[in-house]
Structure 1
Amino acid sequence: MKVRLASPKEAKRLWFIRNQAIRHGCKNSYDPQTICNWTPDEMPPSYIKMVENNPFFVAVNERDEAVSTGFLNLESNSIDAIFTLPEYMGHGAAGLILDAIKAEAKKRKISTLTLDSSPNAERFYQKHGFTPIRHDNYYSALAQANLACIHMKIAL
């Protein structure tokens, strides 16, 4: 598996990966209605702007198809989410994305990264050097709910 920058033309595929990862990975963290609201099949127009305006990475399979996504939010110096298709979970794709984001942040002289982890992903981020700061809630307009999260950080 290799990592490359995503193209805005891939936004619909990235949205699909996001939704599949949430629907599979978060089912023990959030109720079904919240997950349904949070993962609409139709991609919001603002999503493509995130792909265009931030270093958005994908891990690709042998057919160069994106199977995992994540990006460095340049506005907040944060990782906004790493999502992996369920059938590729546990194969190292998310770790490769995380390494690419960290390298990009260092290149841009960003000394600390933050993220808000869903409860199911907290251990993954801890394994990759992130430290929990506090348990919190994040209001998601898409989900129309407060989502439990763990605010985390790492010094680069």
Structure 2
Amino acid sequence: MLIRKAHSGDAQRVFDIRNQAINHQCVGHYPEADLAVWTRGELSDYFIEVVANTGHVAVIDNQVTASGLLDLETGQVDAVFVDPACMGRGIGRRMMDYLEQQALQAGLSHLILDSTLNAADFYRRCGFVGERIAQYQSPRGLTLACVPMIKHLAR
């Protein structure tokens, strides 16, 4: 497996993995109507730009299998998604380790994220802390329950 900086040509695959992972992993944690709104629509220019600017992808056998976004100015982690067909292989954990290394190289002291309810335990296993349920305002107009989390980085 190779993890590399994403480029705009990866955006459609990242968008597809995002939607598949949401529909696979978030069922039972969020209303089905919210999942439908969360995953509807087409790839936007904004999403392409975000992937190109802050995205990273995991590649296995020349196929993008996972994504992760990291804003090196704020330490915000977002869109850590693994293709459901590849889940359970440690790809998500390796992506998080990679993003942490990128953050350390950039001199960041911490990472922050808003976890979906289903992913909070995964992030805790990666060293993040956070228990409080908050409301996340999605760009698609949804209000979703989330768990704000932080990880202080050891230098």
For 2:142, the equivalent position in structure 1 comes to 145
Q: How many residues align?
A: 153
Distance 1:75 1:34 in 2: 30
Distance 1:125 1:88 in 2: 18
2:69 match: secondary structure: strand
Distance 1:120 1:79 in 2: 16
Q: Map residues 1-156 of structure 1 onto 2, 5 A cutoff.
A: 1-54=1-54, 56-62=55-61, 64-132=62-130, 134-142=132-140, 144-156=141-153
Letter in 1 for 2:8: P
Question: By how many angstroms is 1:75 displaced?
Answer: 4.6
Residues 72-119 of structure 1 deviation map (CA, whole Å, 9 limit, x = unaligned): 023532101200111111111111111111011001100011000001
Question: Contact 1:57–1:100 at 8 Å: present in 2 too?
Answer: no
Instruction: Please list every run of at least 4 consecutive aligned residues from structure 1 whose deviation after the TM superposition is greater than 3 angstroms.
Output: none
Distance 2:9 2:100 in 1: 24
Distance 2:20 2:114 in 1: 19
Question: By how many angstroms is 1:4 displaced?
Answer: 1.5
Pair 1:43–1:75, CA change in 2 (3 A): farther
Letter in 1 for 2:37: N
Question: By how many angstroms is 1:8 displaced?
Answer: 1.1
Structure 2 portions without partners, runs of 5+: none
Distance 1:4 1:18 in 2: 18
1:141 match: secondary structure: coil
2:79 match: secondary structure: strand
Question: Contact 1:133–1:153 at 8 Å: present in 2 too?
Answer: no
2:28 match: secondary structure: coil
Larger strand proportion, structure 1 or 2?
1
1:43 match: secondary structure: coil
Structure 1 portions without partners, runs of 5+: none
Distance 1:9 1:49 in 2: 10
Question: Contact 1:78–1:113 at 8 Å: present in 2 too?
Answer: yes
